[in-house]
A = this chain, B = another copy of it.
Amino acid sequence: MRSWLPSANAVGSDFPVQNLPYGVFSHGKDAPRCGVAIGDRVLDLAALEADGLLPSGDAPVFSAPELNPFMERGPKIWAAVRARLTDLLRESGDGAVRQKEGRYLHPLAAVTLYLPFRVSEYTDFYAGKQHAFNVGTMFRGPENALPPNWLHIPIGYNGRASSVVVSGTDFHRPKGQLKAPDAEMPEFGPSKRLDIELEIGAVVGTGSGFGKPVSVAEADEMIFGYVLLNDWSARDIQAWEYQPLGPFQGKAFCTTISPWVVTRAALEPFRTSTPEREKTLLPYLEEPGPMLYDIDLEVALTPAGSDSETVVSRTNYGTMYYSAAQQLAHHSSSGCPMRTGDLLGSGTISGATPDSYGSLLEMSWGGKTPIELPGGVTRSFLEDGDRVTLRGHAQGKGYRIGFGDCTGRVLPARD
């Protein structure tokens, strides 16, 4: 399938007509509203809806500065809108948008992008086995690397929704309590071990009730789509604070997501199964079918003072041990209500070799083997001025389903 918009058919475009990811944008002095990325443009859904061209339900949803009202409408409306948008943007489809390009389409280069949805709550999981093994090996040795519950439970912790920002938001290096292993007292100062975590975030579209667990199949239906997610982490703050109740301020200062939510529908052709189980899962976590996705991922680092980036890692989302649907089912298993706008981070996605690891902690093995960048530059952890950009796409035949850049830059700690 091709679009009548040439840029949507360009080789390597993240946003062909097969994708249609949702975001929130503004153009000029207009208020932020919902849009869809297509080629090098953004389609104004609020304008289309105002003109009666979208089957989005009784009351308008796309003039909101967040996708939440649309997501609340549920899977039938999601499917109807996607079908309609496909017809408006494909070759030989409905000509309504093509005939009024100036009203409905804006250049991506000319708009401002916002957080695509209001994050209700943010949960971060730990579902990458290689990552859990690497981190466990560094802290406890290879024999005890995986916690005893890891092969039974999709381990996760509640993160801080207020710290989730859209790609392009720079942030100050966090300060916090730091304690060297041989120091008697902690000190308060800027983190010296600032890191990234390459993740995919699942966006919950429809909720579950108080005291009403959902099955893995129901959980999959509740997921509206996926984003790239960088869970910036201060390893030294985390190391001193995390016992016994888990990560807190070491993970609370910034989490960056891509501006586009790629829908579950767009990723449907790329479903893939979780790896073979090493221990039989309890029935409530069994998957009725493939629920991971074959998404190629990369991490690019632009060191301070340089204009050129280096790809320091390449891996794939399909390596995860647990799917987002399994995580969501587990999240509801106690009766915990899940809501529209909940964001579930996959956990760091690390492949088998250092050039596929999803954090600097792993790439530099706790700082012992700094990674080498062009010009003799090395990094164990991030320095002020460094920029990190995540990218990802599912590769189809002749097209790809991309997420757009998920990028952020480290500013110096505030005085």
Chain A: residues with CB nearer than 8 A to chain B? 120-121, 126, 147-149, 152-153, 155-163, 165, 171-172, 174-177, 179, 185-188, 210-213, 234, 237, 240-250, 252-254, 279-280, 282-284, 330-331, 333-339, 414
Contact = CB atoms under 8 A, between A and B. Distances in A.
Contacts of A333: 175-177, 188, 249
B149 A253 contact: no
B249 A330 contact: yes
B213 A175 contact: yes
Given A188-B284, A246-B247, A279-B185, A337 B175 contact: no
Contact of A210 (B120, B171, B176, B335): B171
Given A149-B241, A188-B282, A335-B171, A157 B210 contact: no
A246 B238 CA distance: 12
A282 B210 contact: no
A381 B187 CA distance: 41
Contacts of A283: 188
Q: How many copies of this chain does one complex carry?
A: 2
A160 B210 CA distance: 12
A243 B243 CA distance: 9
Determine chain A's interface SS by DSSP, over half rule: loop
B242 A121 contact: no
A234 B333 CA distance: 13
A162 B338 contact: yes
Contact of A157 (B171, B246, B339): B246
24 contacts: A121-B161, A147-B243, A149-B179, A149-B240, A153-B186, A153-B240, A153-B241, A155-B248, A156-B245, A156-B248, A157-B245, A162-B336, A171-B210, A171-B335, A172-B211, A172-B335, A175-B334, A186-B282, A188-B282, A211-B254, A237-B334, A242-B246, A252-B331, A253-B334
B245 A334 contact: no
